Amino acid sequence: MSNERTILNRLYPTTKFMITLTLCLAAFIVPGYWFSYSILPICMVLAFFAGSFKEFSNLAIKALLMIVVFIFILQSFFYPGTDILWSWSIFSIKREGLEFALFLTSKIVAVASAFILFFRITKVKDLVNALEQVGLPSKVTYVILSTLQLIPEMKKLTHIIMDAQKTRGVETEGKLLVRMKAFLPTLSPLILGSIASTEERVLTLESRAFSANVKKTSIYKLEKTKNDRRVQVLLIVLLVILIIWRVTL
């Protein structure tokens, strides 16, 4: 399934953000933690139809598993309460702590899953283009663009430096101590390479009259379609229904 051919990927960036925002708000509107946890499989289904299931699942598991487990254990053992369910030595799990841990981790899973889905199905250039069409200054959108691309570019540069070290006979794989020794020499070229890349960007932007106080035009344009309007209306109706249901409940 091609990512570009799916309806979800062809939606306007603001529409995709409305989907993300609706999932986040629904997690806080619906009481309890079961629905909030269900946001993750819902996002997995959406990612499957968007053709990004594998990437989304890997990123969601790597980003959420350790954080959620750590917070869950921490809150279960140290949250104040009186109803003790299990205890050993100075450690004890209380019912109040367990309930709060479930509540807190469920919200983290819901919000993180929604935003991971958003960035998996939305191209950075589409997001920046949509923000510029809304009226944000180009300098602000460039800061957003450079921030979102910072980590992937540094990761790519790190791999290039590590491959260069391999060709010179430096051990970069194996035990943790070996990897740490191999990583430390990469810091200097990584920092210098990032600075050089920043200077190149400045020269490139100035050569394209980025700081010129004139109206900018772009060949790449995004347009909203009927599907965007339908999805936006559907999301608003769902939110209204959820709010009315919660108030009456």
Write the DSSP string, 195-230.
HHHHHHHHHHHHHTTTT-SS----S------HHHHH
Distance of CA 69 to the CA centre of its chain: 19
Burial class (CB in 10 A: 0-12, 13-18, 19+), 210: middle
The C-alpha atoms of residue 212 and residue 209 are separated, in whole angstroms, by 5
Higher-confidence position of 247 and 204: 247
Query: What is the mean predicted confidence (pLDDT) over 79-94?
Result: 73
Q: Which tokens go with 228?
A: 């965007």
pLDDT at 218: 67
- Whole-model pTM over 0.85: no
Read off the amino acid at residue 101.
A
| Residue 217 tokens, joined | 């035009």
In tens, the pLDDT along 162-185 reads: 777 777 666 666 666 666 666 666
Give start and end residues of each alpha helix (H) in 34-137.
34-49, 53-78, 95-121, 124-134
Which residues partner with 84 through β-bridges? 94
Q: What is the mean pLDDT of residues 206-232?
A: 75
What confidence score (pLDDT) does residue 26 get? Answer: 93
Buried b (16+ CB within 10 A) or exposed e, 149-166: eeeeeeeebbeebbeebe
Is pLDDT at 1 greater than 60 in this prediction?
Answer: no
Place of tokens 């980590």: 151
- Could you count the other beta carbons within 10 Å of the beta carbon of residue 23? 22
Mean pLDDT of the chain: 80
Band (pLDDT 50/70/90 cuts) for residue 4 is low
Q: What is the mean pLDDT of residues 226-237?
A: 91
> Percent of the chain scored above 90 by pLDDT?
22
What's the one-letter identity of residue 20?
Answer: T
Residue 140's alpha-carbon distances to 128, 137, 216, in angstroms, are: 9, 5, 14
In this predicted model, what pLDDT tens digit does every residue of 90-140 receive, in sequence order?
A: 777 777 888 888 898 999 999 999 999 998 888 888 887 887 777 777 777
HSE value, Cβ hemisphere, 13 Å, CA-based, for 19? 25
- Amino acid letter for position 227: N
Average pLDDT over residues 26-53: 90
